[in-house]
Amino acid sequence: MFSVSDISRYYGLAFGLRDFLRNKITLEQSKKFISTRLQNRERNFLNLIQKVIYENPESPYLKLLKNAGCEFGDIESLVNKDGIEPTLCKLLEEGVYISWEEFKGKRDVIRGGNRFHVRERDFDNPLLPDYYHVKTSGSRSAGTRTIFDLKYLWEKSYYALPMLAVNNALDAPMGLWMPGLPSMAGIVPLLRYWSLGRPIARWFSPVTESQVQASLRDRLATRFTIYSARLWGAKLVKPEYVSLAQAVKVARWMADTRKQFETCSISCFVSPAVKICQAAIENGLDIEGTHFFVGGEPLTEAKRQQIEAAGALAVPRYFTTEIDIIGCGCPGTAADDDVHFFHDSLALIEHQRKVEHTDTYVNAFHFTNLSLSAPKIMLNVESDDYGVMETRSCGCLFEQLGFVRHLHHIRSFAKLTGSGMTIIGSDFVHILEKVLPQKYGGAATDYQLLEEEDNHGQTHLNLIVSPSVGAINDSEVINTVLSELHRSVRSGKLAAGFWSQINTLQVKRIYPISSSGKVMTLHLTKQK
Specify the number of domains making up the chain.
2
Give the pLDDT confidence score for residue 470 in this predicted structure: 87
Give the pLDDT confidence score for residue 141 in this predicted structure: 45
Give the pLDDT confidence score for residue 412 in this predicted structure: 84
Give the pLDDT confidence score for residue 522 in this predicted structure: 47
Residue 501, Cβ density class (10 Å: 0-12 exposed, 13-18 middle, ≥19 buried): middle
Residue by residue, DSSP assigns 8-64 as HHHHHHHHHHHHHHH----HHHHHHHHHHHHHTHHHHHHHHHIIIIIT-TT-HHHHH
Q: Give the pairing of strands 313-320 and 291-295.
A: parallel
CA atoms within 13 A on the CB side of 324: 28
Asked whether 375 and 101 are in contact (CB, 8 A), the reply is no
The one-letter amino acid at 148: F
Last residue of a domain, one of 103, 123, 143: 123
The one-letter amino acid at 483: S
Residues near 287 by beta carbon (within 8 Å), at least 6 away in sequence: 251, 254, 255, 258, 264, 276, 277, 280, 310, 311, 312
Give the pLDDT confidence score for residue 132 in this predicted structure: 53
Give the pLDDT confidence score for residue 357 in this predicted structure: 63
- Is residue 320 situated within a structural domain? no
Strand ordering across the sheet containing 459-465: 505-508, 459-465, 447-453, 519-520
Q: Give the separation between CA 355 and CA 413, rounded to whole angstroms.
A: 7
Strand ordering across the sheet containing 324-328: 239-241, 202-205, 174-177, 265-269, 291-295, 313-320, 324-328, 339-341, 405-412, 381-391, 361-369, 346-354
Residues near 155 by beta carbon (within 8 Å), at least 6 away in sequence: 345, 371, 373
Asked whether 312 and 290 are in contact (CB, 8 A), the reply is yes
Residue 341 pairs with which residues in a beta bridge?
Answer: 327
Last residue of a domain, one of 64, 92, 123: 123
Q: Give the separation between CA 242 and CA 206, rounded to whole angstroms.
A: 5
Asked whether 320 and 136 are in contact (CB, 8 A), the reply is yes
Residue by residue, DSSP assigns 309-361 as TTT-EEEEEEEETTTEEEEE--SS-SSTT-EEE-TTSEEEEEEEEEPTTSS-E
pLDDT mean by block of 10 residues, the chain; 528 residues? 56 77 94 98 98 96 96 97 98 96 90 91 85 49 59 94 97 95 90 95 93 82 88 92 94 98 95 93 97 92 93 96 93 92 98 79 94 95 93 96 96 68 65 87 83 74 88 90 74 67 80 60 48
Residues near 388 by beta carbon (within 8 Å), at least 6 away in sequence: 335, 407, 408, 409
- Is residue 100 situated within a structural domain? yes
Q: Give the separation between CA 120 and CA 79, rounded to whole angstroms.
A: 28
Domain that holds residue 520: 421-527
Last residue of a domain, one of 77, 98, 123: 123
Give the pLDDT confidence score for residue 86 in this predicted structure: 98
| CATH code for the domain in which residue 517 is found | 3.30.300
Q: Give the separation between CA 53 and CA 74, rounded to whole angstroms.
A: 14
Residues near 140 by beta carbon (within 8 Å), at least 6 away in sequence: 295, 296, 297, 318, 319, 320, 321, 385, 415, 422
- Is residue 206 situated within a structural domain? no
- Is residue 435 situated within a structural domain? yes
Give the pLDDT confidence score for residue 520 in this predicted structure: 57
In this structure, the dihedral spanned by the alpha carbons of residues 217, 221, 223 and 228, taken in order and rounded to 10 degrees, is: 140
Residues near 376 by beta carbon (within 8 Å), at least 6 away in sequence: 123, 124, 125, 144, 146, 147, 322, 323, 369
Asked whether 494 and 269 are in contact (CB, 8 A), the reply is no
Local structure of 200: helix, strand or coil: coil
Q: Give the separation between CA 333 and CA 335, rounded to whole angstroms.
A: 6
Residues near 125 by beta carbon (within 8 Å), at least 6 away in sequence: 52, 147, 149, 372, 373, 374, 375, 376, 377
- Is residue 314 situated within a structural domain? no
Sign of the four-CA dihedral 63, 66, 70, 73: positive
Give the pLDDT confidence score for residue 9 in this predicted structure: 65
Name the DSSP class of 371: -
